[in-house]
Amino acid sequence: DTEVTQTPKHLVMGMTNKKSLKCEQHMGHRAMYWYKQKAKKPPELMFVYSYEKLSINESVPSRFSPECPNSSLLNLHLHALQPEDSALYLCASSHPYGANVLTFGAGSRLTVL
């Protein structure tokens, strides 16, 4: 079983919908990440939270809104998405500093109609 749990595994939404992706870890990691991955491409960093504070926003459109309610949870709120936002969204966590390994969840596959 993966140590980073993402829900839902699959999500289909219309362009006017509001939905959320959820991520949970219980490894005591204090850094959490959202990545977006298109087919046959590497993961692209979207957001990083360190100690529950947003530390990196890679110029992501405001229709993606991250939230870190506590050290174990990370959400990605989705609103007014475009079909080109369809992708695999990966959550990861790590200790914040040094040579820390990112532990990834299995991803949420999003389709925007």
Partner 1 sequence: AQKVTQAQTEISVVEKEDVTLDCVYETRDTTYYLFWYKQPPSGELVFLIRRNSFDEQNEISGRYSWNFQKSTSSFNFTITASQVVDSAVYFCALRKPNTGNQFYFGTGTSLTVIP
| Least gap, CB of 31 to partner 1 (angstroms) | 5
Task: Give the binding site for partner 1 (CB under 8 A).
Answer: 2, 31, 33, 40-43, 45, 48, 50, 55-56, 88, 90, 92, 94, 96-107, 109
- Cα distances from 55 to residues 43, 69, 94, in angstroms, run 18, 15, 14
CA atoms within 13 A on the CB side of 62: 0
Query: In terms of CB distance, is 5 or 79 closer to partner 1?
Result: 5
Query: In terms of CB distance, is 79 or 109 closer to partner 1?
Result: 109
- Based on its alpha-carbon atoms, the radius of gyration of the chain, rounded to whole angstroms, reads 13
